[in-house]
Amino acid sequence: QVQLVQSGGGLVQPGGSLGLSCVASGSRFSIEHIAWYRQAPGKQRELVARITRGGSTDYADSVKGRFTISRDNAKNTVYLQMNSLKPEDTAVYYCHEVGTLEGYEYDYWGQGTQVTVSS
């Protein structure tokens, strides 16, 4: 079993920055993909950013150039640095990890954290 604990989030003014963290603990787990999703009220959950085992990254067009996903393997932590925030970035953000353990594939979700961008 893997537990994902998120931190960060909060209220930020437009144009501001915020960093999110997601720390994994528990069973030994070979990570294949780590992603950040977000869900705004009344909207579908959408993929924001993703980083692969090899370090390749992908971003939603809406956040490209503003958000950065990164990993610190020694700390079992994935980060989402959000810069130049816009009101439309307001959502609950979730980390999501997919990996394998002894031939089984697992996926885990963080508890979610609110990001509100408002003046």
The tens digit of pLDDT for each residue in 7-40 reads: 999 999 999 999 999 998 877 778 888 999 999 9
Q: Could you tell me which of 19, 21, 14 has the C-alpha nearest to residue 84? A: 14
DSSP for the chain? Answer: -EEEEEEE-EEE-TT--EEEEEEEEES--EEEEEEEEEE-TTS--EEEEEEETT--EEE-TTTTTTEEEEEEGGGTEEEEEE-S--GGG-EEEEEEEEEEETTEEEEEE---EEEEE--
- Using pLDDT thresholds of 50, 70 and 90, give the confidence band for residue 103: confident
| pLDDT given for residue 29 in this prediction | 77
| pLDDT given for residue 101 in this prediction | 84
| pLDDT given for residue 114 in this prediction | 98
The tens digit of pLDDT for each residue in 63-84 reads: 999 999 999 988 889 999 999 9
| pLDDT given for residue 100 in this prediction | 86
- List Cβ<8 Å contacts ≥24 apart for 69-75: 69/34, 69/35, 69/36, 71/34, 75/23
* Token pair of 108 as six digits: 């885990």
